[in-house]
Amino acid sequence: MERDVTASQHKHWRTTQERVEKYISDNSFKDVNLRGKLYPKAKEVDRLYHWELPLGEKTWENWTFKSITIQDFKPIKTGMAFGPLWSTHWFKVEVNIPEDWIQQEVWLHWVSQGEAMLWSAKGEPLQGFSPGGVHLSPLKGAKRTGPLEPDQSRTDYMLSLCWSGSQETQIFYIEMACCGMFGAGADGMISPPDEDSVFQLEAVEVSTRDKLVYKLLTDIDVLHDMTVSLGSNDLRAHQALYAANHMINTIISGNYSQASQIADTFFGKRNGDLAHTVAMIGNCHIDSAWLWPYSETKRKCARSWSSTVLLLEEYPEMKFACSQAQQFSWVKLHYPKLYDKISLLVKAKRFIPVGGTWVEMDGLIPSGESFMRQFLYGQLFFKREFGALCKEFWLPDTFGYSAQFPQICKNFGITRFLTQKMSWSLFNKFPHHNFIWEGLDGSTILAHFPPGDSYELRVRVKEAVRTINNLQDKGRVSTSAFLYGHGDGGGGPTRNMLERSRRLRDVDGCPRMEHMSPSAFFERLETEQHNLCRWVGELYLELHNGTYTSQARTKKQNRICEFSLRNTEIFLAVVAVKGKMKKEELLRHQDKLHDAWEKVLLNQFHDVIPGTSIGLVYHDADRLYKEALASTEEVQRACRPFLFEDPGKKKNGEMVVINTLPWPMRQVMIVEEEGTQGEVQQSAGEGQYYVAVEAPGIGWSKLSTPLTPPKVTVSLTNNCYILENQYMKVQVNRFGQVESLMVAGESQDVFRREGTHAGQGNQLVLFDDVPLYWDAWDTMDYHLETGRVLNVKESGCEVNEVEVVQSGPLVVRLKWALKISEVSSITQEIELSAVSPYLVFRCKVDWHESHKFLKVLFNTALLARTAAFDSQFGFVERATHCNTSWDSAKFEVCGHKWADLSELSLGMAVLNDCKYGWTARGSTLMLSLLRSPKAPDAKCDMGQHTFSYALMPHKGCGDKTRVQRCAYEFNSNLALLSTSVR
């Protein structure tokens, strides 16, 4: 008699819902639930061998697959732990499939705590294995080994869809890296790495898998998901719950086919024509470095992309978007067979390059030229490799967005922009998910923020529902992007995600889900852009603004490299125009600079230059910067003999001053005695002298014809030093603070307003700096409440008061020192030259603090409602008041070489040579100097630092062009060369 599987008259919502959950659980009642029936037959592999890659200079990148397979592999058992952190271990797996598994699906299961790659015996990368979440072993059951979601691990690989019965031994190699998906933080994900970490190999097995059971598990999983996500007040949620309950009763009765039909009937009930569409775009955001070094990212790309290739072959509807030309280049170099497969899928428009940049760079700190190179090198790579340019700027995860992006994108044929990081803003919710973004020059670009607020969606009902409920532009657009796939540490889409997408493709109660390419999605959006609002200027992320300061050395090296590359390219361009250098040599130098730019661009990745990676990454970054600078120096040396005339005709050398800026530049230089042929005007130390020189724009002048400018002087009045040159008059007290600053010949004072204000500049201020969680990333608004001025008598700090060390006539220099704490100190020289319109502060800091923030403060008498900040190819203005929550949120902002407070007829600019963080409140401007976060790099910025900033008075709001020029001069010295000039 057929069993009655109808439901009882009264159904309890919670008990039924939990019944469904337990019936597909990985952990509960697996001996009797459906999950326990997924793998009917299983066994351990027959033989397992191990070999460890030697530590030292010979990393995995120096080994070929063939050289690895001939090593002495030793037999081992599962359960062993391997290390140390960042080491590599290879395993040889041999398995014989039992005869009675014929015509069954057969799967290989690899369960380890380290990331791994499966290789064929012929050396072809097959698929990545990911740790974390719940590891499923058919023999040993489920085991949670990480903090991630259950389906974030990838532990199985299909050996055969229908086993042929062959008795041939199957041989595979598996490469395991001793690190997790997110490194190996000692006390949490962003904690510094635990160097004592070990990584266990838990299971290596083969099994059969029941196709129908897998389908039913997925069906019930999605039905349960609808029930939970839609809630008890939703009609469709009740229908989903009852369908799942009915399926379970039917399965228990033994009628699996009927249970499958119940699910198919439910998912066959379609949406109406007006349903919102979510455009499903597979992606795998891989940080080029973060909690792991660059070398590990190269393997993450191969693990993730090989897994994606398999899914693209299995699911023809799937589209996969992939950014970062650098990562494509890495895979091409280290995994050519995988790259060939990817290239074919790119041609088929299934594996889709997006972004158009070399890496997903930081959106604020790189210079305008660096941004141009990011797009130039990225687009050139995609055009060369795949025959097409990217149309979408793809930057989902960075910490703010320059107002110059729309104009820069337009120069590279990019008209669309996608990101989601703005959803992280702490104070205000950005008012649009779709809008027209207008940049500094009026250029516009179509912008989209996926309303699911993530690029790591799992294809869950709650995510689809949130996408439409969260949409800020309801009624204006009919389609929203839905970016699915595991990211940051890699992984990408999974089979479970794609199976869920098939069931949710068009089911009543959820938005319509359609697989689309990014281009197809934006084409739909473009038809509706007439409905969209406009946003003008920068996209300011109200979080992670400590990244403008963390890892100060990296930011300094970046600035130095950017200017060095610029200057070197001007040298090479002049030589090329002169036509004296052989073409082959010229091209070789061009290639060398191209390679140097690639290294700098890589270090501009959005977790490297912001200072948010582990310490190991900065060892790599330092090396790349040094190599880039060495290349510029080599090319400059090669160019020098060709700059003036044929080196073969050279007779007598003469000292020449070269200016690479496009306007005349004056500077006081230090020269050796024997190198000077003009009047020596001031000693700079033993055998060295100061000389005032001028060179025309992108030109040169002889050192033998120096300037004789009006003298710079210093005097002591009322315990303060008065420094004066042809541009300014400045008063410095005995603690190094600027008490008065005036443009020469003017009566207005930057720091003093009669009867109302007496401010000071160059106040060194120390703040407590304890964020809520993201240590190297965040500085919170409340840190501004904790400031303590150090260079005052009342500070309690040990101060060596100001003394004169140079007294003119070309250079005046003061010097003083301060003990910040028992472990940190600063020495500062204050310098004014006869030809300089700004006062320079040169700092040497020995920094060993913990969660402190050092800034320099300029408390002026200026009444400025906005402050201007240097940006890429221009400047941005931000409010100095807190009228709105949007203004208040900008308590720490990004600027490049200068920032300025101005009234109509008087202004003050602060210039710098390597800093990016600023605060402007009322009449006060602060420049951020050093932070001391402890995660993810426990030694972030500990040690010695040298940097400079300058104070420039000027004639008010209309003088910003002069400020901009002076900032370039402050970052770009004149070059002194020896050549023959007639």
Assess contact for 393 and 405: CB atoms under 8 A.
yes
Pick the catalytic residue from 26, 219, 362, 397.
397
In the chain, the N- to C-terminal Cα span, in Å, equals 113
CA distance 360 to 609: 12
User: Contact at 8 Å (CB) between 28 and 37?
Assistant: no
Q: What is the largest CA-CA distance in the chain?
A: 116
What Å distances lie between residue 802 and 349, 587, 793, 842, 950, CA to CA?
Answer: 67, 53, 13, 14, 18
3 state DSSP class of 16: helix
Per-residue buried b or exposed e for 203-228, using 16+ beta carbons within 10 Å of the residue's own CB: bbbbbbbbeebbbbbbbbbbbbbbbb
Alpha-carbon distance of 54 to 60, in angstroms, equals: 9
| DSSP helix/strand/coil, 65 | helix
Cα 823–Cα 827–Cα 832 angle in degrees, nearest 5: 165
Helices and strands, counts by H and E, the chain: 18, 50
**How far is residue 319's CA from residue 501's CA, in Å, rounded to a whole number?**
12
397 catalytic, yes or no? yes
Sign of CA dihedral 327, 333, 339, 340: positive
Nearest by Cα to 362 from 179, 550, 214, 623: 550
Task: Write b or e for each residue in 10-37: b if 16 or more Cβ atoms lie within 10 A of its Cβ, otherwise e.
Answer: eeeeeebbeebbbbbbbeeebeebbbbb
Spell out a b/e string for 735-746, using b for 16 or more CB atoms within 10 Å of the CB, else e.
Answer: bbbbbbbbbeee
The whole-angstrom separation of Cα 769 and Cα 614 is 19
β-pairing verdict for 81-82 and 199-209: antiparallel
Question: Is the previous residue joined to 809 through a cis bond, with omega within 30 degrees of 0?
Answer: yes
**Torsion, CA 719, CA 725, CA 730, CA 734, rounded to 10:** -30
d(CA 247, CA 259): 5
Q: Are 899 and 867 in contact (CB under 8 A)?
A: yes
Q: Residue 404 has which token pair?
A: 């110059």
C-alpha to C-alpha distance for 583 and 570, rounded to whole angstroms: 17
Measure Cα distances from 803 to 688, 732, 777, 824 in Å: 21, 11, 39, 21
Closest CA to 111 of 156, 174, 151: 156
Burial class (CB in 10 A: 0-12, 13-18, 19+), 6: exposed
Sign of the dihedral through C-alpha 800, 802, 807, 811: positive
Q: Is 268 exposed, middle or buried (0-12, 13-18, 19+ CB in 10 A)?
A: exposed
Which tokens is 81 given?
Answer: 């732990």
**3-state SS, residue 924:** strand
d(CA 976, CA 132): 58
What phi and psi, each to the nearest 5 degrees, are found at residue 422? Answer: -60, -20
**Cis peptide leading into residue 192 (ω within 30°):** no
Tokens of 80: 């062993």
Residue 285 to residue 662: CA distance in whole angstroms: 41
- The H or E element containing residue 479 is strand 479-484
Q: Which residues are catalytic?
A: 397
